[in-house]
């Protein structure tokens, strides 16, 4: 009888998930059971409305309609009845594609932020720094009335070999309240402002947050190698902190512009 009970105990131990009590716990650090910051995830939609095409353009690719480009982001501060969201600059860029400028006569572009439960609110760009200028690809958005949980920055840089995770929506995959949680290894810096990780990424991943094992923000996804998407570039912690300091100052100086 004792042997039988022991076997049952062993089976239960094997079958019991390490994180069964907390579905968002840190499963690669089960001793601490730190909560995964999934609630900080923000999906970003950049919507292009083509209202009227130019006439007399042979084989014009212009088609009247609504087109949505999807990206990711992370809530970093709740303030003034809304949320400040960190993402990649090319996700926030409202500059229309050159082909649209050449073939469309009337259009508009707007941003929308969605929280983990799929609630969407309009968003405005507070500040953005594009990779083509200084290798930094970051932006800060403000979404009025968007309610979500903010995360904090890490105190130290990750070390080579550390495990990291990213919460983002590759290919736009997001089924509220379920968002993909991806893991990889921190591989080290690639230049003065960006780092390399082995978290798989693709279109839609840009702007996704990268967290260390303490579930603190260490960077933002902005690029990957097309032929080997497990090699991903992210903003370094130092770069992210420097950008946030500048962008938050800009928000405070122009608060009425973004909160009205």
Q: Would you state the pLDDT for residue 102?
A: 87
Q: Is the pLDDT of residue 230 over 70?
A: yes
Which tops the pLDDT comparison, 134 or 94? 94
Q: Would you state the pLDDT for residue 259?
A: 83
134: phi > 0 → left, psi -120 to 50 → alpha, else beta; which?
alpha
Q: What is the pTM of this model?
A: 0.84
Phi, psi of 101 (to 5 degrees): -60, -40
Q: Would you state the pLDDT for residue 256?
A: 87
Determine how many CB atoms are found less than 10 A away from the CB of residue 12: 9
Spatial CA neighbour of 91 closest among 196, 189, 182, 169: 169
Q: What is the pLDDT of residues 77-113, one digit of tens each?
A: 999 889 999 999 999 999 888 888 889 999 899 999 9
Q: What is the pLDDT of residues 147-191, one digit of tens each?
A: 899 999 999 999 999 999 999 999 999 999 999 999 999 999 999
| Residues facing residue 104 across a β-bridge | 53
Q: What is the pLDDT of residues 36-84, one digit of tens each?
A: 899 999 999 999 999 999 988 888 888 899 999 999 999 999 998 899 9
Q: Is the pLDDT of residue 21 over 60?
A: no
**CA separation for the pair 215, 212 (Å, rounded):** 5
In the numeric block, which tokens belong to residue 4?
């039988």
Q: Specify the residue for token string 């094992």.
A: 213
**Fold of domain 39-53+62-259:** Thrombin, subunit H (2.40.10)
Q: Is the pLDDT of residue 33 over 80?
A: no
Q: What is the pLDDT of residues 197-215, one digit of tens each?
A: 999 999 999 999 999 999 9
**CA separation for the pair 62, 133 (Å, rounded):** 30
Q: Is the pLDDT of residue 29 over 80?
A: no
């Amino acid at each position: 009888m004792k042997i039988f009970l022991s076997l049952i105990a062993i089976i239960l131990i094997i079958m019991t998930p390490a994180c069964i009590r907390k579905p968002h716990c840190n499963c690669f650090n089960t001793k601490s059971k730190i909560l995964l910051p999934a609630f900080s995830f923000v999906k970003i939609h950049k919507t292009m409305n083509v209202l009227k095409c130019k006439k007399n353009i042979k084989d014009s690719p212009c088609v009247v309609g609504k087109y949505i480009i999807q990206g990711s982001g992370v809530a970093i501060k709740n303030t003034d009845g809304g949320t400040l969201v960190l993402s990649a600059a090319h996700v926030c860029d409202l500059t229309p594609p050159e082909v649209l400028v050449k073939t469309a006569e009337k259009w508009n572009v707007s941003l929308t932020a969605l929280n983990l439960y799929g609630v969407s609110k309009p968003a405005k760009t507070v500040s953005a720094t594009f990779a083509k200028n200084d290798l930094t690809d970051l932006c800060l958005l403000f979404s009025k009335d968007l309610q979500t949980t903010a995360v904090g920055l890490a105190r130290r840089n990750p070390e080579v070999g550390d495990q990291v995770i990213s919460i983002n929506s590759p290919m736009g995959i997001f089924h509220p309240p379920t968002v993909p949680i991806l893991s990889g290894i921190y591989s080290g810096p690639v230049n003065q402002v960006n780092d390399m990780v082995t978290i798989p990424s693709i279109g839609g991943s840009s702007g996704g947050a990268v967290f260390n094992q303490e579930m603190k923000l260490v960077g933002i996804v902005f690029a990957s190698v097309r032929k080997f998407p497990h090699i991903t570039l992210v903003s370094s912690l130092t770069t992210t902190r420097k950008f946030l300091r500048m962008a938050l100052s800009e928000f405070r100086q122009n608060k009425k512009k973004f909160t009205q």
